[in-house]
Structure 1
Amino acid sequence: MRITVLGSAAGGGFPQWNCNCRNCAGVRSGTVRARPRTQSSIFVRPDEGDDGVLFNASPDILEQIRSNPALQPARALRDSAIAGVVLIDGQVDHATGLFMLRERTKPLPLWCTDPVSEDLSQGNPVLRVLSHYCGVARHAIALDGSAFEVPGVSGLDFRALALTGKAAPYSPHRDDPVAGDNIGITIRDRKSGRSVFYAPGLGAITPPVFDAMASADAVMVDGTFWTDDEMVRLGVGTKRAREIGHLPQSGEGGMIEWLARLPAGTRRMLIHINNTNPILDEDSDEHAALRRADIEPCEDGMTLQL
């Protein structure tokens, strides 16, 4: 299978439109060696075939499609390589790009959990709005470990795992989490048997989550913050990383420690990187620390073949 990182930043992208932190100001002025990034999303397709699955529809989806011609194979007057969309959660940066897909001539095939469907029908009624345009053919994602497939994308299967995290701010269970608010997905190529575990929002690593990570050939996991107090310390927020459902990379029990425990051959990648995270600065000590740990910060446009 082929995995394309369409977007690798957290909500707001990088540089964030209204932010003048060191990273954002520096990338605009050219004083920080960093690459701009759009909001996180990946596109997965089998080795043989044009059509694939869009994981998360970010507000930057139109720019991402323009930047990745594989998503527009131009086989007909109106065409797309997006056979279906899988949502990891119901957050703004992962779901509101669905509005931009409204010109489809048929209902949009969409996979999400029941709590996410509820949030996107009530608190942020994206799915209800789309009913006035192309419509949505919604499929429920089960949390019992059973595999599902996306029609038109042969040879790939997907298994969801409930994660510790936070529902969207407009969810009725924002402060009272339920299973399915956030999920990780194991994406497997049935022909090769190889797989990747994808979890852009990950608040804690439980034994089932670590087992899924350790069983995969590659992991693409939460890279939002370097430290737990990053937003507070920089004066751009009032909550700590773990409070809003993100495990920081550094410190005791952080993502770097967990990734070090994976089998030696596992490819380790971070996605959903916040604009404040010092790993974005390619000359920073933090970026160097990741490289020493054999961890890659994802970049827009990077591809992975498994």
Structure 2
Amino acid sequence: MKIIVLGSAAGGGYPQWNCNCRNCNGLRKGAIRGRARTQSSIAISSNGNDWLLVNASPDILTQIRATPALQPARAARDSGIAAVLLMDAQVDHVTGLMMLREGRQIPLYCSASVRQDLLAGYPLAKVLSHYCGVQWHELAVAGGDRVSFTVPLLDGIRFTAIPLESKAPPYSPHRDHPAAGDNIGLLAHDLITGKKLFYAPGLGAIAPPTAAAMREADCLLVDGTFWTEDEMISLGFSGKPAVAMGHLPQSGAGGMLEVLDGMPAGRKILIHINNTNPILDEDSPQHATLLRHGVELAYDGMEIAL
């Protein structure tokens, strides 16, 4: 199983276009050591030619241009994207669907609540019906149970969708009334090698089913949005703490680093990193803390083989 990190930043990317925080300003001026990142998305394949796009970020065209495997050029018009899976209906995870409108009908895997959001609150699917259209594949997680499925052309990989505790987008009717399926985690199991990836770019809490899935995985690619619970508040960018925005911070008691310390996975990688997170400065003490815990920082173009 091959995984390519197409984008590793949270919404807005890094540096964010209108942000002059220490990270964004420092990266633009070359004052800090780090690398620019587009908004988070990954691609998964079993054969290196046909890929499941997991989340379609607003930066998808830039990501495709940077990833030759997604443009195999087998025909006059072609794409290596065999299907798209959405983890949630957040703007930074679904807007890229519009950039795929010139292609064939999009096989789209998502929960019922995400489908509802794409038909009503943020009706991308209605707009796409006038272009390529969408072929729906519902992940029936509404009861709170994990659901396994396969994707055509990704032979030898079994996927499992796991409902997560996080936040629905502001335009969702579930924003303040969470429902199973607003956010999912993805367990990808290579049936040949036996290896498993757990992917969850938005993770507000570690419920027992989530912890169980994480313990199964050989590689964890999980929410790295904020370093502290009050990160956005202390910078004056928001009045909301991290968990209220659906993200478990890395530091502090019960934080992501503490969770990852207890997991047996051989590789532990943070993704969906907000532009304000000090770990983006590779000379920061926070970045050094990650390394001491054996945790990696995802970057655009990162390749993982399992």
Q: Shorter-chain TM-score: what band?
A: over 0.9
Q: Residue 110 of structure 1 corresponds to which residue in structure 2?
A: 108
Distance in 2, Cα, partners of 1:75 & 1:8: 28
SS at match of 2:119: coil
The CA distance in 2 between the partners of 1:146 and 1:115, in whole Å, is: 15
Residue pairs, 1:160-179, within 5 angstroms: 160-179=161-180
CA RMSD of aligned residues (A): 0.8
Give the structure 2 partner of residue 156 of structure 1. 157
Task: Indicate the residue corresponding to 1:61 in structure 2.
Answer: 60
Inter-partner Cα distance in structure 2 for 1:153 and 1:250: 37
Q: What's the offset of the Cα at 1:207? A: 1.2
Q: Distance in 1 between matches of 2:139 and 2:100?
A: 21
Specify whether residues 30 and 192 from structure 1 end up closer, same or farther in structure 2 by C-alpha distance, changes over 3 A only.
Answer: same
Aligned counterparts, 1:101-140, within 5 A: 101-104=100-103, 106-140=104-138
Mapped to 1, the partners of 2:255 and 2:298 lie a distance apart of: 18
Which deviations, in whole Å up to 9, do the C-alpha atoms of 1:83-112 show, x marking residues without a partner? Answer: 0000000000000000000001x3100000
Q: Deviations over 1:114-138 (max 9, x none)?
A: 0000001100001110000000001
Counterpart of 1:260? 261
Displacement after TM superposition at 1:298 (Å): 0.4
Match of 1:32 in 2: 32
Structure 2: gaps of 5 or more residues:
none
Output one character per residue of 1:23-82: Cα deviation in whole Å (capped at 9) or x when no partner: 000000000111000000000001x34101000000000000000111000010000000
3-state DSSP of counterpart to 2:291:
helix
Aligned mates of 2:153, 2:100 — CA distance in 1: 18
- SS of the aligned residue for 1:33 comes to coil
5+ residue gaps, structure 1, are none
**Letter aligned with residue 34 of structure 1:** G
Pairwise CA distance, 1:238: 1.3
Q: Counterpart of 1:94 in structure 2: which amino acid?
A: H
Give the partner amino acid of 1:124: Y
Structure 1 partner of 2:140: 142
Shift of 1:193: 1.1
* Identity level (%): 60
Q: Which residue of 1 aligns with 2:198?
A: 197
Say which SS state the counterpart of residue 85 (structure 1) adopts: strand
Offset, 1:157: 1.4
SS in 2 for 1:120: helix
Rounded to whole Å, the distance in 1 between the matches of 2:124 and 2:114 is: 11
Three-state SS of the structure 1 residue aligned to 2:158 is strand
Aligned equivalents of 2:193 and 2:77: distance in 1?
33
SS in 2 for 1:287: helix
Q: Quote the residue 1:235 is aligned against.
A: 236
Q: Which amino acid aligns with 2:303?
A: T
Q: Which position in structure 2 is the counterpart of 1:85?
A: 84
Cα offset for 1:244?
Answer: 0.7
In the TM superposition, residue 266 of structure 1 has moved relative to its aligned partner by 2.4
SS at match of 2:215: helix
AA of the residue aligned to 1:161:
I
Q: CA deviation at 1:162?
A: 0.5
Corresponding position of 1:247: 248
Query: 1:156-199 CA distances to partner (integer Å, 9 max, x unpaired)?
Result: 11101110011011001101110000000101111111110000
Which amino acid is 2:131 matched to? Y
What secondary structure is seen at the aligned counterpart in 1 of 2:270? Answer: strand
Match of 1:222 in 2: 223
What is the rounded CA distance, in whole Å, between the counterparts of 1:239 and 1:157 in structure 2?
A: 37
Letter in 2 for 1:61: I
Secondary structure, counterpart of 1:147 in structure 2: strand
